[in-house]
Amino acid sequence: MNGRRLQFGLAVIDDKLYVVGGRDGLKTLNTVECYNPKTKAWTVLPPMSTHRHGLGVAVLEGPMYAVGGHDGWSYLNTVERWDPQARQWTFVASMSIARSTVGVAALNGKLYAVGGRDGSACLKSIECYDPHTNKWSMCTPMSKRRGGVGVATCDGFLYAVGGHDAPASNHCSRLSDCVER
Protein backbone atom coordinates (compact mmCIF):
# COMPACT_ATOMS: atom_id res chain seq x y z
CA MET A 1 0.00 0.00 0.00
CA ASN A 2 0.96 3.62 -0.32
CA GLY A 3 1.86 4.45 3.28
CA ARG A 4 0.42 3.13 6.52
CA ARG A 5 -3.22 3.47 7.42
CA LEU A 6 -5.48 3.39 10.46
CA GLN A 7 -9.28 3.18 10.72
CA PHE A 8 -9.81 2.18 7.08
CA GLY A 9 -12.52 0.05 5.51
CA LEU A 10 -11.74 -3.34 4.00
CA ALA A 11 -13.74 -5.47 1.57
CA VAL A 12 -13.33 -8.18 -1.08
CA ILE A 13 -14.70 -7.97 -4.63
CA ASP A 14 -13.86 -10.60 -7.25
CA ASP A 15 -11.06 -12.08 -5.13
CA LYS A 16 -9.36 -8.69 -4.76
CA LEU A 17 -8.84 -6.80 -1.50
CA TYR A 18 -10.02 -3.17 -1.35
CA VAL A 19 -8.60 -0.75 1.25
CA VAL A 20 -10.87 2.28 1.54
CA GLY A 21 -10.22 5.63 3.24
CA GLY A 22 -8.74 5.72 6.73
CA ARG A 23 -6.03 7.89 8.24
CA ASP A 24 -2.37 8.31 7.44
CA GLY A 25 -1.11 9.93 10.62
CA LEU A 26 -3.44 12.87 11.25
CA LYS A 27 -4.68 13.18 7.65
CA THR A 28 -8.06 11.63 6.78
CA LEU A 29 -8.02 9.92 3.37
CA ASN A 30 -10.47 9.41 0.52
CA THR A 31 -8.12 7.09 -1.35
CA VAL A 32 -8.90 3.55 -2.49
CA GLU A 33 -6.35 0.86 -3.25
CA CYS A 34 -6.92 -2.66 -4.56
CA TYR A 35 -4.64 -5.65 -3.97
CA ASN A 36 -4.67 -8.58 -6.38
CA PRO A 37 -3.20 -11.62 -4.60
CA LYS A 38 -2.69 -13.47 -7.91
CA THR A 39 -0.43 -10.77 -9.37
CA LYS A 40 0.77 -9.54 -5.95
CA ALA A 41 0.21 -5.98 -7.16
CA TRP A 42 -1.52 -2.90 -5.75
CA THR A 43 -3.66 -0.62 -7.94
CA VAL A 44 -4.82 2.88 -7.06
CA LEU A 45 -8.52 3.37 -7.87
CA PRO A 46 -10.64 6.52 -8.15
CA PRO A 47 -11.06 8.15 -4.72
CA MET A 48 -14.30 8.56 -2.81
CA SER A 49 -15.89 12.02 -2.87
CA THR A 50 -15.56 12.24 0.92
CA HIS A 51 -12.48 11.79 3.11
CA ARG A 52 -13.42 9.16 5.73
CA HIS A 53 -11.83 7.31 8.64
CA GLY A 54 -13.74 5.08 11.06
CA LEU A 55 -16.04 4.13 8.18
CA GLY A 56 -17.78 0.82 7.67
CA VAL A 57 -17.42 -1.00 4.34
CA ALA A 58 -19.35 -3.94 2.90
CA VAL A 59 -20.22 -5.45 -0.47
CA LEU A 60 -23.89 -5.87 -1.33
CA GLU A 61 -25.07 -7.45 -4.60
CA GLY A 62 -21.87 -6.44 -6.44
CA PRO A 63 -21.24 -2.83 -5.40
CA MET A 64 -19.21 -1.84 -2.34
CA TYR A 65 -20.56 0.70 0.15
CA ALA A 66 -18.54 3.16 2.26
CA VAL A 67 -20.73 4.05 5.24
CA GLY A 68 -20.43 6.95 7.69
CA GLY A 69 -17.12 7.64 9.39
CA HIS A 70 -15.45 10.91 10.28
CA ASP A 71 -13.97 13.41 7.81
CA GLY A 72 -11.54 14.99 10.28
CA TRP A 73 -14.07 17.63 11.40
CA SER A 74 -17.50 15.99 11.51
CA TYR A 75 -19.21 12.67 12.08
CA LEU A 76 -20.82 11.49 8.84
CA ASN A 77 -24.16 9.98 7.90
CA THR A 78 -23.36 9.96 4.18
CA VAL A 79 -22.89 6.78 2.14
CA GLU A 80 -21.03 6.23 -1.12
CA ARG A 81 -21.35 3.25 -3.45
CA TRP A 82 -18.50 1.91 -5.61
CA ASP A 83 -19.58 0.40 -8.92
CA PRO A 84 -16.80 -2.04 -9.88
CA GLN A 85 -17.93 -2.19 -13.55
CA ALA A 86 -18.12 1.59 -14.09
CA ARG A 87 -15.21 2.17 -11.67
CA GLN A 88 -16.89 5.14 -10.04
CA TRP A 89 -18.31 6.30 -6.71
CA THR A 90 -21.83 7.74 -6.31
CA PHE A 91 -23.74 8.90 -3.25
CA VAL A 92 -26.80 6.95 -2.12
CA ALA A 93 -29.32 7.84 0.60
CA SER A 94 -27.77 9.03 3.87
CA MET A 95 -28.38 7.29 7.19
CA SER A 96 -30.59 9.07 9.72
CA ILE A 97 -27.75 9.09 12.30
CA ALA A 98 -24.13 10.13 11.79
CA ARG A 99 -21.88 7.18 12.75
CA SER A 100 -18.13 6.74 13.03
CA THR A 101 -16.45 3.45 14.04
CA VAL A 102 -19.63 1.81 12.71
CA GLY A 103 -19.91 -1.91 11.99
CA VAL A 104 -21.33 -2.71 8.53
CA ALA A 105 -22.41 -6.01 6.97
CA ALA A 106 -24.73 -7.29 4.23
CA LEU A 107 -27.50 -9.79 4.96
CA ASN A 108 -30.48 -10.95 2.89
CA GLY A 109 -30.10 -8.23 0.25
CA LYS A 110 -29.78 -5.38 2.74
CA LEU A 111 -26.93 -3.41 4.29
CA TYR A 112 -26.80 -2.98 8.08
CA ALA A 113 -25.05 -0.13 9.93
CA VAL A 114 -24.57 -1.21 13.55
CA GLY A 115 -23.64 0.97 16.52
CA GLY A 116 -20.74 3.38 16.20
CA ARG A 117 -20.30 6.84 17.70
CA ASP A 118 -22.24 9.99 16.89
CA GLY A 119 -19.81 12.45 18.47
CA SER A 120 -21.33 12.53 21.92
CA ALA A 121 -21.98 8.85 22.70
CA CYS A 122 -21.67 5.31 21.47
CA LEU A 123 -24.83 4.01 19.84
CA LYS A 124 -26.91 0.88 20.20
CA SER A 125 -29.11 1.73 17.21
CA ILE A 126 -29.05 -0.18 13.92
CA GLU A 127 -30.09 1.06 10.49
CA CYS A 128 -30.85 -1.06 7.44
CA TYR A 129 -30.40 0.06 3.81
CA ASP A 130 -32.45 -1.36 0.93
CA PRO A 131 -30.60 -0.75 -2.37
CA HIS A 132 -33.80 -1.26 -4.40
CA THR A 133 -35.65 1.61 -2.69
CA ASN A 134 -32.53 3.66 -1.77
CA LYS A 135 -33.89 4.07 1.78
CA TRP A 136 -32.58 3.48 5.29
CA SER A 137 -34.87 2.29 8.08
CA MET A 138 -34.32 1.80 11.81
CA CYS A 139 -34.11 -1.77 13.14
CA THR A 140 -34.35 -3.28 16.59
CA PRO A 141 -31.41 -1.84 18.56
CA MET A 142 -28.72 -3.82 20.34
CA SER A 143 -28.97 -4.13 24.12
CA LYS A 144 -25.59 -2.37 24.61
CA ARG A 145 -24.07 0.80 23.16
CA ARG A 146 -20.96 0.06 21.08
CA GLY A 147 -18.42 1.93 19.04
CA GLY A 148 -15.74 0.05 17.14
CA VAL A 149 -18.01 -2.98 17.00
CA GLY A 150 -17.11 -5.93 14.79
CA VAL A 151 -20.03 -7.02 12.59
CA ALA A 152 -20.38 -10.14 10.45
CA THR A 153 -23.05 -12.50 9.17
CA CYS A 154 -23.21 -16.26 9.62
CA ASP A 155 -26.01 -18.75 8.90
CA GLY A 156 -28.56 -16.00 8.23
CA PHE A 157 -27.81 -14.01 11.41
CA LEU A 158 -26.12 -10.67 12.01
CA TYR A 159 -23.54 -10.71 14.82
CA ALA A 160 -22.20 -7.71 16.76
CA VAL A 161 -18.96 -8.53 18.58
CA GLY A 162 -16.97 -6.52 21.11
CA GLY A 163 -16.46 -2.78 20.80
CA HIS A 164 -16.36 -0.11 23.48
CA ASP A 165 -18.98 1.97 25.29
CA ALA A 166 -17.34 5.41 25.03
CA PRO A 167 -14.83 7.10 22.75
CA ALA A 168 -11.44 5.40 23.08
CA SER A 169 -9.92 8.69 24.26
CA ASN A 170 -12.32 8.72 27.23
CA HIS A 171 -10.59 7.35 30.33
CA CYS A 172 -13.91 5.77 31.39
CA SER A 173 -14.25 3.74 28.19
CA ARG A 174 -14.82 0.03 28.78
CA LEU A 175 -14.04 -2.64 26.22
CA SER A 176 -16.82 -5.13 25.64
CA ASP A 177 -16.59 -8.92 25.48
CA CYS A 178 -20.31 -9.09 24.64
CA VAL A 179 -21.65 -10.80 21.52
CA GLU A 180 -25.19 -10.08 20.27
CA ARG A 181 -27.11 -11.71 17.43
Task: Flag the least confident range among 64-78, 105-119, 153-167.
Answer: 153-167
* Per-residue pLDDT reduced to its tens digit, 83-99: 999 999 999 999 999 99
* Residues whose CB falls within 8 Å of the CB of residue 118, separated by 6 or more in sequence, listed in order: 75, 97, 98, 99, 100
How wide is the angle at C-alpha 69 spanned by C-alphas 3 and 106, nearest 5°? 100
* Residues whose CB falls within 8 Å of the CB of residue 96, separated by 6 or more in sequence, listed in order: 77, 127, 136, 138
Domains of the chain (ranges plus CATH)?
9-161 (2.120.10.80)
Average pLDDT, the chain: 93
* Per-residue pLDDT reduced to its tens digit, 131-143: 999 999 999 999 9
pLDDT-above-90 percentage for the chain? 84
Classify residue 173 by burial, with Cβ atoms within 10 Å: 0-12, 13-18, 19+.
Answer: middle
pLDDT at residue number 171: 53
Distance of CA 73 to the CA centre of its chain: 18
> In which band, very low, low, confident or very high, does the pLDDT at 5 lie, cut at 50, 70 and 90?
confident
